[in-house]
Amino acid sequence: MILSKIVNDTWLKEQLENKLENTVVVDVRFELNDPEAGRKAYLESHIPHAVYLDLNKDLSGKAEKHGGNHPLPDKDMFAAKIGNIGIDHDTAVVIYDQRNDMFAARLWWLLHYIGHDNVYLLDGGFERWVEQGHEVSSEIPTLSAKDFQPNFRKNQVADIDEVKEKLGNKSAVLIDSRSRDRYLGKTEPLYPKAGHIPGAKNYFWKNVLDENGNWKNDTDLQENFSSLSKEDEIIVSCGSGVSACPNVLALKKAGYKNVKLYPGSFSDWISYEKNEIEKKGE
């Protein structure tokens, strides 16, 4: 297994110059309050040779009554889509969003889930690339489709029944990756109910970034999660399974082995009327 890495703009520039034939760059810029903004930004300018994947259309399935606002896409359809943009198990994939948002980590997690680990996140995203004066393009690349054979890692996912069971017998730690105010129910801009799943511990996902908005190194990430035992089973949630993904990646980089994503997260939890909600701190 090749450990997913955080890379800088200089590394990517050299990669594009020397190893483009087996590298696919994916732009996943997105805005939750303007779902077409990311695609429009991509069409205007992007890192050369990058293809675009959309959070709602490509990285999520259709929202239903239960399952959360950004349920996982159909596994086989997603694997086929990955193959169609030129990715197989020998391909290095480099992902970027606007500036270390949560969307690049969502695609990283999906690729990890279907068994692909040769994946890199561009630290600083598109903004950093432009700030450093690197070339941009509006050309849409044509990539030869490949046959991606998925190897689904079912142990990377926890559904609502598993969350309930393991919280009930205290055999796992549940993390809520949203901001402190949303966790405490002081504000809730997206959902009809506010608060958090009872027993969840708050680790805001942006705390995996430093004061400049860059990814923290592995030592600092270990400090960020120092109150958690490496022996713990950790289930990571958020609002709808997107901002949890940076925390999943950060935990794995910090050396935690038993980490799962609850894809439905809070938006799935509150879709069941009988589920209780807390508004107090840990």
In the chain, the largest separation of any two C-alpha atoms, in whole Å, equals: 56
Give the Cα separation of 174 and 37 in Å (integer). 33
Count the Cβ atoms, other than its own, within 10 Å of residue 85. Answer: 20
HSE-up of residue 160 (Cα within 13 Å, Cβ side): 16
**Local structure of residue 11 (DSSP, 8 states):** H
Annotated catalytic residue, options 238, 245, 248, 249? 238
Helix (H, G, I), strand (E, B) or coil at 210: coil
Give the Cα separation of 259 and 65 in Å (integer). 27
238 is catalytic: yes
Q: Give the distance from CA 50 to its chain's centroid.
A: 18
Number of helices and strands in the chain (H, E): 10, 9
Place of tokens 């050369």: 48
Provide the annotated active-site residues: 238
